[in-house]
Homo-oligomer: A and B are copies of this chain.
C-alpha cells in the first residue's frame, strides 16, 4: 500500500470511481478465473479483493474457475500417466474422479474460503449442483470430456438473489449421472449467456489481442464481431487465441453485452477494467454499441 498517499488523495480516487460504480451496480459480471492469477498467490489475493469490492458496490458477480496445474500434480502423485488420442488427453473414469476432487473439492472451496476471508459471502457450485451444467460426451475416444447441452442457471440466480458470490467449478454431468470435465472458457461463456451478463471477463496470461504477438504495445483495445474474419485471415488471431475469441463470440451470441480478454498477470486488472476509463485488455463486442455508458439522462 502506498503509505505516502494522503487520506484526501484516497478520497479523490474513490470519488473518481463513482461513474463506473454507477454503471455496474446491479449488473451481472462473470469472471473466468485462470492462468497465472490462479497460481501466483499475491495475484490470487488481489483478484479475491477485487471480486469482493465489486460485490460490495452492488455488482452481481460470478466466478468461474478451471483447475490449473493442481490436477496434473495429483495425477502425478497418484502415478497416473496421461493418455493421448490424436494428441488430445483422455479423461478416463479414474482421471475424472481426480478432476472432480481437485476442482469441486480443493480449488472451489479454497476460493470460497478466500472470498469469505476478504469479507464476501460466497457459495461454491459444481455443474452437478442443481444440475447446473448438463453435458454429453464430446468424443468417445476422449472419455469424460463434456460438451454442454444445457445450462440450468437457477442455482446461480438463486444464490445471486440471496446475496452470494457464486463460485462455479467446471465439472458437468450427464443424464446417467456421469461426471465430465468441461472447458473453462466455454463454461464461462454459457453461464454469462444464461445470465444475460453485462460483461464477461476472461483472465489470461497475455495482454489481449496483439497486432504483434511479441509486442504488448500493439494491443488492440476493441474488436467487433464483423472485424473477426480479417483478424483471422491476417493471422493476428491465431493459435491459442482462436478458441478464446470463439468463446467470446459464443458469449455475445447468447446475449452477453461485451467480453474482455484481459491480462490476469497485471495486479487488480479486474478493478482497472471495470472502474477506470482505460479498461484493460481487448474488449470484444457486437459492434453496435461498443462502449456506451448507460446514463439516466436520455
Contact = CB atoms under 8 A, between A and B. Distances in A.
A118 interface: yes
Contact of A109 (B100, B106, B298): B100
Contacts of A155: 123, 164
Contacts of A49: 15, 18
A25 interface: yes
Interface of A is mostly: helix
A170 interface: no
A177 B45 CA distance: 12
Contact of A56 (B13, B57, B276): B57
A204 B23 CA distance: 33
A75 to B, nearest CB: 11
A173 B113 contact: yes
Given A15-B53, A162-B158, A100 B104 contact: no
Nearest to A13: B13
A13 to B, nearest CB: 4
Contacts of A16: 1, 10
Given A179-B113, A296-B119, A12 B18 contact: no
Interface of A: 1-2, 5, 7-19, 21-22, 25, 46, 49-50, 52-53, 56-58, 74, 77-78, 97, 100-106, 108-109, 112-114, 116-119, 121-126, 128-131, 134, 149-150, 152, 155, 158-159, 162, 164, 171, 173, 175-177, 179, 266-268, 271-272, 275-276, 278, 296-298
